[in-house]
Amino acid sequence: MTESTFSTALTKVNDSFFPMIEKQLTGNGIKMDNYSKQCVLTAISSINNVLDSKGITWNDADLDKNNITQILISVASLKLNAAASPREVYFQTRNVSVKKQGTDDVVWKKQIEMGIEGDGNDAILSNFGRDVQSVAQIWLVRSEDAFTYPSFRGLKLEPPTWSPTGKGEVVRVVYPVIKKNNTVEYHISEREDVIKNLVAHINNNMMNETFGIAQNRFKATFDEKKKIAKKKSEVLSKVKAVGLAALDEEEFAKWISPAWKDPQSRESMLIRKMRNNVTKRIPKDFGNAFVEMNYEASVDEGFASARQEITDNANDEIIDVDYEDSTTNSYTDQPETEQYESQEEVKEESQSEKEPVKTTPANDEPPF
């Protein structure tokens, strides 16, 4: 007599994804330790909750399972825990238009998107920061606090000082980072620098904007595209000139997500951006090119889009990838290293249109 084993649908999902994730990580020279497995489990559970809330099943034919596999690989390799509090990573659904293979027909697919939260960047910094021993308690400096910037006497660093009052808005974030040689670095991000993140956010949300010049961006002629690009440039220049006050300007409201505008979430968003601007600029050593690639894909949508474009279309079209300048100050007793930062995008919108891309055969779609 054979004993039947009870298993839930989520257990079957775990059993289907785990071997694939472990095989791909092992194939790239990465050992999947117990914490990585825990991260994958919590990620699958969180994704399941997102799908349930949208009425989507794992067997939904419109669900892009290849995309989920890639997300789980990123979660495992970067060791991001979806069950941590505060959150390190979040998931959301997005409808994406894709072109059917061999035809001009466009269909809508449902994709899961992963975003790294502020504490997720802290976890990555602690796990992969180059020569980082630990990250001390971060400083959230408010406008009415007493604060002095660090200074140098030759090679000797005078640390910054901070006397918290708890009053006023957070104007800067300071990360004291303890290195393995017991030196301390102070990385500072200013509130006013978040305007560059906001400009990137608006620029992303204007992806499909035509200002009435063309029916849509895909059907726009060359001259129409030039006019659209000029209008976008004018809007972004206005935003830069206005600064963070642009969050209250009705003129830009349609391109700004509620998480940026709403009073209950605006301050959290600005602080999170300041923290991200700090952590993303501190050098990291992932020890494996595959892990580094997953990190870049997780934090840089331009990089991910470019890689997907190359994979699907053999790089047969021009790929536009925008980057933004440095926004963070670092004070250390070590020589300053020039850093390169890519554009950061935030996806608060649950639904948007992307440029059609060709689909690839889902060879490794797990059966449920």
Q: Is the peptide bond before 86 cis (omega within 30 degrees of 0)?
A: yes
CA–CA distance, 50 with 45 (Å, rounded to integer): 9
CA–CA distance, 83 with 346 (Å, rounded to integer): 21
N- to C-terminal Cα separation, the chain? 26
pLDDT at position 30, please?
80
Tens-binned pLDDT, residue by residue, of the chain (368 aa): 444 455 667 777 777 888 888 888 888 778 888 888 889 889 988 998 899 888 888 888 888 887 888 888 888 888 899 988 888 888 888 888 777 766 777 778 888 888 887 688 888 888 889 999 998 999 999 999 999 999 999 989 999 999 999 999 999 999 999 999 999 999 999 999 999 999 999 998 888 888 888 888 888 888 888 999 999 999 999 999 999 999 999 999 999 988 898 888 899 889 989 998 998 888 888 877 777 777 777 665 544 544 444 444 434 333 333 434 444 566 654 433 333 333 344 344 333 434 443 333 333 444 44
CA–CA distance, 110 with 210 (Å, rounded to integer): 25
Q: What is the pTM of this model?
A: 0.67
Residues 6+ apart with CB under 8 A from 269: 259, 260, 346
CA–CA distance, 353 with 53 (Å, rounded to integer): 21
- Grouping H, G, I as helix, E, B as strand and the rest as coil, residue 112 is strand
pLDDT at position 151, please?
95
- Buried b or exposed e, range 246-264, using 16+ CB within 10 angstroms: bbeeeebeebbbebbeeee
Pairing state between β 161-163 and 184-190: unpaired
Alpha-helical runs (H) found in 28-102: 34-53, 65-78
pLDDT at position 165, please?
94
pLDDT at position 288, please?
75
Q: Give the helix/strand (H/E) hosting 10.
A: helix 9-27
